[in-house]
Amino acid sequence: MAEAEMKMERAILAGVDLEDGEEFEYSMQELGNLAKACGMEVAGILTQKLDSVNKALYLGCGKAEELKEFAQQMEADVIVFDNALSPSQLRNLQQLLQKPILDRTSLILEIFSTRARTREAKLQVESAKLQYLLPRLVGMHEALSRQGGGSGLANKGAGEKKLELDRRKIEHRLAELRRELETVSRERETQRKRRLASSLPLVALVGYTNAGKSTLMNRLLERYSQDESKKVLEKDMLFATLETTVRKIELPDNRRFLLSDTVGFIHKLPATLVKAFRSTLEEVRNADLLLHVIDYSDENYKNQIKVTEETLRELGCGSIPVIYVMNKADLCMEGFPKVQGDDRIYMAAGKEIGMDELISLISGKLFGGYCDAEFLIPYEQGQIMSYLMDHALISSTEYEEKGVRIVTSCSKADYARYRQYLV
């Protein structure tokens, strides 16, 4: 590979510490990880403490000039800001710094863009990027000519005409994307209704990006599914998973549930992305149980829990039962796997340590309300027998003169539905 192709973009990170209770150092560290995930090399960091951000330049005027000199000194290719920049801040900073500028939002959008694989994910990311771009078009065209007299579009300068044309193109494309996403959303809703009709409980994996959700899903699939093709992408990087994947887990005792892997959350996740991925995240809202996967080895795991729980509340998922999966415990503690109560486990999914204990917790949450029952199902009611074989735990089966006698553990709903066959 040519040396020019191997060269990584050199980035300067810039941030303002408002001393408002936010974990500023952690936020800047995470910004660096995001930049690396986008293929950049962090060449330097510049920060400033302020009571409030400068409305014109984000940084103070003197610090902005210092940033310009620092970027030149470090031979930076791009400058990345920790917060979302307003259209006017973006325009003013581009005029001052004379270098490409990204803020946290556009950086995350760029990562999502490179990670998207399915048609739905690509549509969602494109929609989020265009929604972000639309109000910032003026800043993007700051180098274009704005000269021209008179009134009306025909007499406007080249830059202004280009701006108007681009705005129309974006609005037209956004309308197209909305229609396409509505179609995909209807397809997803049809699939969701089909799954709900199956009456299988749904367990959703949620958590901070790169906490190990996909790893956990794959370890469960290896144990309880024979189809290797059902495994999901598992990689040590931010936002490896952008699309929701639903798989069936069949336990040895005949109990079954659906397991859903979802996009990871992150501090200051752009509102446009949350909105764009809302249909994908609907899987979480319909879940019977959440597995909140946490990277317990990360010193900032408490902040990550807070961000995830806030995002879940925004999505309307605050009341769904949760099991806290303190993952990667092998990196920071001894004496694991360890279970605390009925909603917390310390384990290591990557090393398959704690899997049996986790399944026991899941079973307790999903099937703890099951009833023991003995039914005599008439032979002519074969569909009931077939249903119970699929949805209940059958301990024994005996074929008698009047029907099939089964000893089972079933849901309270099924117990009530078939109580006429109780013996």
| pLDDT tens by residue, the chain, 423 residues | 444 455 789 999 999 999 876 688 889 999 998 899 888 999 999 999 999 999 999 999 999 999 999 999 999 999 999 998 998 999 899 999 999 999 998 998 888 888 777 788 788 889 888 988 888 875 454 433 333 333 333 444 455 567 777 888 999 999 999 999 888 878 777 776 776 666 678 899 999 988 898 899 889 988 887 665 555 544 554 555 555 677 888 887 777 888 888 777 888 777 777 776 666 677 788 888 999 999 999 998 998 999 899 888 888 888 899 999 999 999 999 989 999 999 999 999 999 999 999 999 998 898 887 888 999 999 999 999 988 887 777 878 999 999 999 998 888 888 999 999 999
Mark whether 130 and 72 lie in a shared domain: no
Mark whether 28 and 171 lie in a shared domain: no
Mark whether 126 and 213 lie in a shared domain: no
Specify the DSSP class assigned to residue 152.
S
| Residue 339, Cβ density class (10 Å: 0-12 exposed, 13-18 middle, ≥19 buried) | middle
Mark whether 103 and 123 lie in a shared domain: no
Domain tally for the chain? 4
Q: What pLDDT score does 99 carry?
A: 92
345 within a domain of the structure (yes/no): yes
Q: Where are the beta strands (DSSP E) in 18-82?
A: 40-49, 78-81
Longest dimension (CA), the chain: 98
Mark whether 49 and 101 lie in a shared domain: yes
Indicate the length of the chain as a whole number. 423
Per DSSP, the three-state class of 85 is coil
Q: Which residue has the tokens 């809202």?
A: 285
Task: Find, among 312, 314, 360, 322, the residue nearest to 339 by Cα.
Answer: 360
For residues 68 and 48, give the distance between their C-alpha atoms in angstroms, rounded to a whole number.
Answer: 14
Q: What pLDDT score does 284 carry?
A: 82
For residues 354 and 347, give the distance between their C-alpha atoms in angstroms, rounded to a whole number.
Answer: 5
260 within a domain of the structure (yes/no): yes
Q: Which residues constitute the domain of residue 290?
A: 200-367
The token duo for 114 is 């490179």
Mark whether 217 and 359 lie in a shared domain: yes
Mark whether 178 and 251 lie in a shared domain: no
- Cα of first residue to Cα of last residue in the chain, in angstroms, is 75
Mark whether 277 and 352 lie in a shared domain: yes
Amino acid present at 277:
F
